[in-house]
């Protein structure tokens, strides 16, 4: 009897296991399978694009034999205003060229290492089924080309990157991009497709330090980046480089994360993703606020732009966005849609107890006063422009217009011009409470900005001269004098 | 005094000719330094033993365009017109093409580049020398600049600085730094050929051949090395493994070694 029980148990277990294994087989075969016996007969050259643009989907149906030519170029470019960096690129820009193919395509990949380059490189495409994603087949010395061919077995949005030792350094210097393997029938049409790739840079100098910056291996190992950027540089996809769409249009973002270390909490301020292809695969999630993009991973997000305004694309690990550069912008142009969003309807004073001026710098950090000779008016304006972008632009806007009712304007500001200190006190100490600027009431808090005397003098001189405030030169000595008076 | 030196020089020249070597050998004697024997800790962990390096001699500086031109003049089979494709690819000595006289003057003291491994080996052989092995090269290059400690990070800085910036127009040999052995510009000038540049790929070398090839790719790269922070070491090994014997590269030159004291 006992023996029978055991037998029964055994049989039941066996049946369950069989059911399970059948199930898993079924799961595997659910997707489209590429028929390896059928070779595409049509040959095409892949069209490659630089971010934020995405090549169009091939108009013809079916698979093709696709030739991709990608050139590796080491070059020195702008990382931020006044900051240069020697990037290693796939195609001349960071991130690398966007590649668009279709599931089932046969891809002949040609990787060229420019003869002026110093280093060997290769490519690991996460879309490739094969050793190293093509890395072993494509390691090439400067001045050489490598060729390999692969079949695109899985659809999805994939990262590619250089995988030559030391891999971290090659990625940290800009060697990554995206390859989209579309489903055979193509993705549903949208009005706009954009390519956004986040990544970090580890520089010997801290954020904003001018001049050519070298790669800092120690910071990379400690995972302490100075720059976290969208599309390879601070401001590469914002301000004048922002993307533009119209109210009512649909947008699809191809989002990649080159890393090398950080995971991105990708978010668009002012939008909700109607649809997210989770991790760039076939699983679709709906109504998402923030989607995680792993280092060496991707995601596809879709939304409809219902109201006009500027959308901020950020890593919602938010200090990266506002202090390290991880910000891109889409301007939505068109008529207000009050049925969706009203804009500000009312504003009144609300001052609970205990609010106090905050400082942008931590209290512990002493402002380092460097012994810098006084600058000329022109030098102050040049230096001040960069400092303005780093410290002031986020609220007062690039053109100094501010935001009416929230952030006071700096353009022809009666408030500023009336101050005997030319605004030195505002920069060094911050400001809070009600003020009137050009006839509009403001009641907000501006934190103290931790600039040294030389920097403060430059940024104020810039504001006086560039925003129609009557000009004038503020010297570092004057700032110092003011600072000492307060002690 | 001068005349005496000249006389000795002439005697050496005669001895040299008698020995069947060219006068150039003697001219280059002073250009080598003796590297005392010692141990080299290989870059990859797969080899847990230290590799001993016997005493050898190494050129102080890289071979220059001028020196290489003399070699080609004596060995026309190594001119770019005559060289066989299996020994050198189509970019062999391409920087000599269509150069003006002033270019030639500037180039003459710069390290010769765009030379294949076969060509570099032939050059060294023509002088009774050979290419250094990887172990010899790495061992000799690990010496700090004169006056600096082995423990400070100056070498890493020189290397990193070279990697992270675009190379400026070529510099003459012997213009960056001299190390404590008296060798110039082991780093920071050009890459250099070594005798066994493809040792990592060959199966007859027992030094961790199953570790290294995949160790050079993707994340596994950091698993197998002695010192993961020595990222510049990775780059040299990756560079060597990207080469083939007939490859020529714009930033790749060489210097020669010898096992015994150079003649006389």
- Provide the token pair at B111: 């390290």
Q: What is chain B's length? A: 264
B242 to A141: CB separation less than 8 angstroms, yes or no: yes
Q: How far is A264 from chain B (nearest CA, A)?
A: 20
Residue A2 lies in a domain: no
Chain B environment of A172 (Cβ under 8 Å):
none
A293 - beta bridge partners?
Answer: A264
pLDDT computed for residue B28 by the predictor: 45
What is the count of residue pairs from A and B with beta carbons less than 8 Å apart? 100
- The reply to whether A92 touches chain B by the CB within 8 Å rule is no
Indicate the residue of A86, A163, A218 with minimum beta-carbon distance to B165.
A86
Please determine, for residue A31, whether its predicted confidence score (pLDDT) is greater than 80: no
Q: How far is B103 from chain A (nearest CA, A)?
A: 18
Q: Say if residue A148 is in the same domain as residue A236.
A: no
Q: Say if residue A170 is in the same domain as residue A214.
A: no
Residue A353 lies in a domain: no
Chain B environment of A74 (Cβ under 8 Å):
166
pLDDT digits (tens, 9 = 90+) for A166-194: 888 899 999 999 999 999 999 999 999 99
Q: Say if residue A175 is in the same domain as residue A206.
A: no
With H, G, I as helix, E, B as strand and everything else as coil, classify residue A40. Answer: coil
Q: A148: Cβ–Cβ under 8 A, 6 or more apart, which residues?
A: A108, A109, A130, A134, A137, A138
pLDDT digits (tens, 9 = 90+) for A354-376: 555 555 554 444 567 777 888 89
**Mean of the per-residue pLDDT values for chain B?**
78
- Provide the token pair at B48: 């847990």
pLDDT computed for residue A358 by the predictor: 58
CB atoms within 10 A of CB B38: 14
Chain B environment of A132 (Cβ under 8 Å):
214, 217-218
In this structure, are residues A266 and A294 in contact, taking their beta carbons and an 8 Å threshold? Answer: no
Q: Say if residue A173 is in the same domain as residue A233.
A: no
Instruction: Report the pLDDT averaged over residues B69-80.
Output: 95
Please determine, for residue A28, whether its predicted confidence score (pLDDT) is greater than 50: no
Chain B environment of A116 (Cβ under 8 Å):
250
Instruction: Report the pLDDT averaged over residues B144-169.
Output: 73
DSSP at B168: P
pLDDT computed for residue B4 by the predictor: 56
Contacts 24+ apart (CB under 8 A), B162-166: B162/A118, B162/B187, B162/B188, B163/A118, B163/A119, B163/A215, B163/B232, B163/B235, B164/A86, B164/A173, B164/A214, B164/A215, B165/A76, B165/A86, B165/A212, B165/A214, B166/A74, B166/A75, B166/A76, B166/A86
Q: Say if residue A63 is in the same domain as residue A83.
A: yes
Residue A338 lies in a domain: no
Q: A130: Cβ–Cβ under 8 A, 6 or more apart, which residues?
A: A137, A148, A150
Instruction: Report the pLDDT averaged over residues A62-82.
Output: 94
Best mutation target, B92, B164, B190, B239, to test chain A (most A CBs within 10 A): B164
A143 to B91: CB separation less than 8 angstroms, yes or no: yes
A217 to B231: CB separation less than 8 angstroms, yes or no: yes
| pLDDT interval class at A32 (50, 70, 90) | confident
Domain that holds residue A420: 377-486
Nearest to A128 by CA among A158, A99, A100: A158
- Lowest mean pLDDT across A104-118, B55-69, B132-146, B230-244: B230-244
Domain boundary (A333, A351, A368) is at: A333
- The reply to whether B165 touches chain A by the CB within 8 Å rule is yes
Domain boundary (A134, A154, A182) is at: A182
Of B55 and B23, which is predicted with more confidence? Answer: B55
ipTM, interface predicted TM-score of the complex: 0.71
Number of H helices, E strands in chain A: 11, 23
| pLDDT interval class at A433 (50, 70, 90) | confident
pLDDT digits (tens, 9 = 90+) for B192-211: 999 988 765 433 333 333 44
B219 to A115: CB separation less than 8 angstroms, yes or no: no
**CATH class of the domain defined by B33-258:** alpha beta
Q: Say if residue A326 is in the same domain as residue A197.
A: yes
Q: Say if residue A166 is in the same domain as residue A121.
A: yes
Residue A187 lies in a domain: no
CA torsion angle A213 A218 A222 A225 (round to 10) = 0
Best mutation target, B212, B218, B232, B244, to test chain A (most A CBs within 10 A): B218
Q: Say if residue A126 is in the same domain as residue A62.
A: yes
Return the CATH number at A254.
Answer: 2.60.40.420
pLDDT computed for residue A362 by the predictor: 46
Domains of chain B, by residue range, sit at 1-30, 33-258
Domain boundary (A300, A333, A366) is at: A333
A167 to B218: CB separation less than 8 angstroms, yes or no: yes
Q: What is the C-alpha to C-alpha distance for residues A48 and A28, in angstroms, rounded to an integer?
A: 32
pLDDT computed for residue A179 by the predictor: 98
Chain centroid, CA A324 distance in Å: 10
- The reply to whether A136 touches chain B by the CB within 8 Å rule is yes
Q: What is chain A's length? A: 487
Chain B environment of A164 (Cβ under 8 Å):
216-217, 238, 242
Number of domains into which chain A is organized: 3
A179 - beta bridge partners?
Answer: A99, A158
- The reply to whether B161 touches chain A by the CB within 8 Å rule is yes
Chain A environment of B169 (Cβ under 8 Å):
none
Q: What is the C-alpha to C-alpha distance for residues B207 and A27, in angstroms, rounded to an integer?
A: 45
A480, containing H or E segment: helix A476-486
**What does the buried/exposed string (b/e) look like for A405-427 if buried means 16 or more CB atoms within 10 Å of the residue's CB?**
eebbbbbebebbeeeebbbbbbb
Q: Say if residue A122 is in the same domain as residue A221.
A: no
pLDDT computed for residue A22 by the predictor: 47
- The reply to whether B164 touches chain A by the CB within 8 Å rule is yes
Residue A358 lies in a domain: no
Where helices occur in A29-146 by DSSP H, the ranges are 135-138
């Amino acid at each position: 009897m006992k023996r029978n029980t055991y037998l029964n148990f055994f049989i039941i277990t066996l049946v369950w296991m069989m059911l399970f294994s059948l199930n898993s087989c079924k799961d595997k075969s659910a997707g489209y399978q590429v028929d390896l016996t059928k070779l595409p007969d049509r040959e095409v050259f892949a069209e490659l694009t630089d971010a934020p643009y995405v090549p169009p989907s091939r108009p013809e149906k079916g698979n093709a034999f696709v030739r991709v030519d990608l050139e590796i170029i080491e070059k020195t470019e702008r990382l931020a205003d006044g900051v240069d960096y020697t990037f290693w690129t796939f195609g001349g820009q960071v991130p690398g060229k966007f590649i668009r193919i279709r599931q089932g395509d046969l891809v002949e990949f040609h990787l060229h290492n420019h003869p002026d380059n110093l280093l060997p490189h290769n490519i690991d495409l996460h879309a490739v089924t094969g050793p190293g994603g093509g890395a072993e087949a494509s390691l090439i010395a400067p001045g050489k080309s490598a060729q390999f061919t692969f079949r695109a077995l899985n659809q999805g949005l994939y990262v590619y990157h250089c995988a030559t030792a030391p891999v971290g350094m090659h990625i940290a210097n800009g060697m990554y991009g995206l390859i989209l393997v579309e489903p055979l029938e193509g993705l549903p049409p949208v009005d706009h497709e954009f390519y956004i790739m986040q990544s970090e840079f580890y520089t010997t100098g801290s954020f904003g330090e001018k001049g050519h910056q070298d790669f800092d291996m120690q910071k990379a190992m400690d995972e302490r980046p100075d720059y976290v950027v969208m599309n390879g540089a601070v401001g590469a996809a914002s301000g004048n480089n922002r993307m533009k769409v119209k109210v009512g249009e649909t947008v699809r973002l191809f989002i990649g994360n080159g890393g090398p270390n950080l995971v991105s909490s990708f978010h668009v301020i002012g939008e909700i993703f109607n649809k997210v292809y989770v991790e760039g695969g076939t699983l679709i999630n709906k109504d998402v606020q923030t989607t995680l993009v792993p280092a060496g991973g991707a995601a596809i997000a879709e939304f409809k732009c219902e109201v006009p305004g500027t959308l901020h694309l950020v890593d919602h690990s938010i200090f990266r966005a506002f202090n390290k550069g991880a910000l891109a912008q889409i301007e939505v142009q068109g008529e207000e849609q009050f049925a969706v969003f009203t804009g500000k309807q009312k504003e009144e004073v609300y001052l609970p107890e205990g609010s106090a001026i905050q400082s942008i710098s931590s209290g512990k950090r002493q402002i380092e006063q460097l012994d810098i000779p006084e600058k000329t008016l022109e030098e102050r304006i040049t230096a001040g422009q960069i400092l303005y972008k780093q410290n002031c632009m986020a609220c007062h806007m690039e053109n100094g217009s501010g935001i009416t009712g929230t952030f006071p304007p700096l353009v022809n500001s009666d408030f500023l011009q009336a101050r005997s200190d030319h605004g030195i006190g505002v920069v060094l100490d911050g400001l809070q409470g009600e003020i009137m600027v050009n006839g509009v009431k403001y009641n907000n808090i501006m934190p103290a900005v931790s600039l040294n005397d030389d920097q403060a003098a430059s940024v104020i001189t810039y504001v006086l001269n560039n925003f129609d405030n009557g000009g004038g030169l503020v010297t570092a000595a004057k700032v110092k004098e003011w600072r000492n008076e307060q002690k | 005094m001068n005349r005496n030196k000249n006389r000795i020089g002439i005697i050496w020249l005669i001895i040299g000719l008698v020995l069947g070597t060219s006068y150039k050998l003697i001219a280059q004697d002073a250009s080598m330094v003796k590297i005392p024997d010692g141990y080299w800790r290989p870059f990859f962990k797969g080899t847990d033993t230290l590799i001993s390096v016997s005493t050898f001699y190494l050129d102080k500086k890289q071979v220059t365009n001028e020196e290489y031109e003399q070699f080609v003049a004596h060995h026309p089979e190594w001119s770019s017109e005559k060289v066989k494709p299996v020994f050198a690819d189509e970019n062999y000595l391409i920087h000599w093409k269509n150069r003006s006289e002033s270019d030639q003057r500037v180039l003459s003291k710069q390290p010769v580049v765009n030379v294949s491994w076969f060509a570099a080996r032939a050059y060294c052989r023509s002088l009774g020398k050979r290419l250094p092995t990887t172990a010899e090269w790495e061992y000799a290059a690990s010496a700090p600049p004169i006056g600096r400690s082995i423990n400070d990070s100056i070498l890493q800085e020189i290397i990193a600085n070279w990697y992270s910036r675009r190379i400026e127009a070529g510099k003459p040999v012997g213009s960056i730094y001299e190390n404590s052995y008296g060798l110039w510009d082991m780093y920071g000038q050009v890459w250099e050929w070594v005798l066994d540049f493809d040792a990592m790929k060959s199966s007859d070398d027992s030094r961790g051949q199953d570790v290294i090839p995949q160790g050079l790719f993707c994340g596994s790269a950091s698993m197998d090395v002695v010192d993961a922070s020595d990222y510049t070491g990775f780059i040299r090994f990756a560079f060597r493994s990207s080469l083939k014997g007939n490859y020529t590269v714009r930033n790749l030159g060489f210097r020669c070694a010898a096992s015994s004291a150079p003649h006389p």
